[in-house]
Amino acid sequence: MELGTAASVSRTAENKTRQQVAHASRFTLAAPKVAQLDVTSALWSGRSKIATVFLAALMVAGVYLGFVAAPEYTARADVRLALAPPADALPVERQTGIAGRKIEVETEKSVILGAEVLRRAAIPNRDSLGVRVIPGTLVLQITARAREAETAAQMADDVITAYLAHQIAQKAQARTEQMAVLSQRSDGLAAELAAHTADHAQLESGVVGDVQIAGLERQKRALEGRAVRMAGLPSRSAQHLAQIAALEEAADILGTRLDAQYAARTRLGEIEDAMAAVAAAKQDTLAQLHALKARTGTDRADAVRLTHATVPKAASKPRKSLVFSFFGLLGGLGGVAWALWSGLHRGGLRLPEVIEQETGLTVLAEIPEVKGPLARHQSGPPKSPFRAAFARLHLALSIQPLSRRVILCAGTAPQDGAGWTCLGLAQALGQKHRVLVIDTNMHNPTLAKSLVGATPAHGLAALLLGLADEGEVIRTQPDFGFDVIPGERLDGDPETLLRSSEFVHFLRDMRARYDVVLINAPPVRATSDTVLLAEFADAVLLCLRWDHTRADHIRDALAALHPTGTPVPGAVLTRQGIDPRPNFAGYTRWRDSRSTEAGAPKP
């Protein structure tokens, strides 16, 4: 930096800078532009939010699986239907067997899930069971679900046991009903046989023997012969005709008796045949009845248990992979929504030209965001992105013909990178100049955490209060070429201490001892200390956080600094995000805001 510039040139530059600040203050009445969302940048900037929500969702899934969701275990057992009854089965048993038709298989599914089988298996909830037919077979697979693995396996086995018992009970019931039918039929046949026997006895009492029938037939023929002979006589007297009529009437009576005997004999034969048929039917019925009684207690089911249920080792529901995937997806979507919402409503500026257009403030350098201790990046190669950015800031300040011995670095809000800007710029200036960094942030002093070596016991507040001398508070950074006076939290009002004559004399002494004094100040919009400190500075560097600082924040800060008359030569865009797109091989490509958002091609 050219610190020995002529006084006339310095006054001219000071007036120019004051005009620039006045020009910037006119933007306080301008309405901010509507924020435009860069999805890629918003997602990249909000990657920590996405990761946080995603991990939180996975933790919620773990809590849900571990403490909320009730596990459900599934056990399976198989049963096969018999195609036909045993070879020694009775006809009635064959009628109740299963022939293997599809409709019968579907019916058996309903039987297994029926109230009777569930009652036998002591399963109150039908929804905990499932039955499916294995395609191409007569195998039914029973599925049982329960909150305990042993219970699920026991339920599946109990259902098959109850189903087989139900089949046996159905057969026993069918046999009992058939025996009742056969008994009733036997009783009916016995009654029918008794009726036939009575009819037979009644008919048999009125039927004459064969000798008697033969005698009646001879008598009839004799009467008919006499009537014919008498009819052939020439006499036609009344007596003669009366005798012929009497003979014919007697023959008709004998014929009627013979017809009645023949009919009775025919009916008697029919009754005897019916009695024989009824007796045979009764005998067959009694034989079936005795056979059914003999088979009582020997019934077998029309199905065979193929497998017993095994105790499941893992729960089938909830499926951990699905739960974690679902919650992970929700968490990812929630994180993306949060990142996009934050990017849309944050309204932070990214482009130097947009910052200049919105506020009239020139961006002198763009400092990339880095992770880890500051000393590690300060110790990096000179051409590293971090050190190269401060070299550009040094160059930007050097080409401005202003004599600035005291430079104030302040942000518009906390975490705007003012402290790192002071230390990085001090390293760049310390190569050729004697540089002192003073941390005047007595509200939240954090600059000492970025220093190398032991932190002094006292800081700026102790020095101004006379509790320590300069040798106790000045900390040398020989590796980086500058000295530091760390900040110190003050219980009282720091503004009172900064207005004291001790601070004025201290700053005057430091100005005389060092070529450049860099002051790390609190955020402009957070406290009035910064405006007070600006009155003692030769220039103010406004630190703007990339994608966070809004145009209205910058205008408010410029308006607050304007009454001090201290020039604001420009701003530093800090914590600039890395380009999320793939890097070229061998290079670390930092986001070029101008080309990304303005549409210009990258160099």
Judge whether residue 307 has pLDDT over 80: yes
pLDDT band of 326, cuts 50, 70, 90 = very high
Q: Across-strand partners of 158?
A: none
Phi, psi of 439 (to 5 degrees): -95, 105
Tokens of 453: 């070596």
User: CA 117, 123, 128: angle at the middle one, nearest 5?
Assistant: 105
pLDDT at 397: 86
Tokens of 293: 């009684």
Is the Cβ–Cβ distance between 386 and 370 less than 8 Å? yes
More confident residue, 228 or 355: 355
Please identify which residue in the block is written with the tokens 């958002």: 597
pLDDT band of 330, cuts 50, 70, 90 = very high
- Dmax over CA atoms of the chain, in Å, equals 200
pLDDT at 353: 92
* Nearest-angstrom CA–CA distance, 409 and 439: 10
Across residues 417-424, what is the average pLDDT?
A: 92
pLDDT band of 37, cuts 50, 70, 90 = low
Q: What is the pLDDT of residues 135-169, one digit of tens each?
A: 888 899 999 999 999 999 999 999 999 999 998 89
pLDDT band of 10, cuts 50, 70, 90 = very low
Q: Which CATH architecture describes the domain 351-579? A: 3-Layer(aba) Sandwich (3.40)
For the ranges 123-137, 401-415, 483-497, 562-576, the lowest mean pLDDT is seen at 401-415
Percent of the chain with pLDDT over 70: 83
More confident residue, 100 or 133: 133
For the ranges 84-98, 313-327, 423-437, the lowest mean pLDDT is seen at 84-98
CB atoms near residue 399 (< 10 Å): 9
* Nearest-angstrom CA–CA distance, 389 and 384: 8
pLDDT at 292: 81
Judge whether residue 437 has pLDDT over 90: yes
pLDDT at 554: 94
pLDDT at 383: 82
Q: Across-strand partners of 133?
A: 140
Is the Cβ–Cβ distance between 106 and 131 less than 8 Å? no
Side-by-side strand order, sheet with 475-477: 363-368, 570-576, 539-545, 406-411, 516-520, 435-439, 482-485, 475-477
Is the Cβ–Cβ distance between 537 and 406 less than 8 Å? yes
Q: What is the pLDDT of residues 174-218, one digit of tens each?
A: 888 888 998 998 899 889 888 888 888 877 777 767 777 777 778
More confident residue, 243 or 488: 488
Q: What is the pLDDT of residues 551-575, one digit of tens each?
A: 999 999 999 999 999 999 999 999 8
Judge whether residue 111 has pLDDT over 50: yes
Judge whether residue 505 has pLDDT over 70: yes
Answer whether 0.95 is exceeded by the pTM. Answer: no
pLDDT at 565: 93
Give, rounded to a whole angstrom, the gap between the first and last alpha carbons of the chain: 29
Please identify which residue in the block is written with the tokens 């571990």: 66
Q: Across-strand partners of 484?
A: 437, 475
- Put residue 481 in one of left, alpha, beta given phi > 0 → left and psi -120 to 50 → alpha: left
SS (HEC) of 78-105 = EEEECCCCCCCCCHHHHHCCCCCCHHHH
Judge whether residue 580 has pLDDT over 50: no
Judge whether residue 602 has pLDDT over 90: no
SS (HEC) of 340-392 = HHHHHHHCCCCCHHHHHHHHCCCEEEEEECCCCCHHHHHCCCCCCHHHHHHHH
More confident residue, 31 or 72: 72
Query: Quick one: how many helices (H) and strands (E) in the chain?
Result: 21, 12
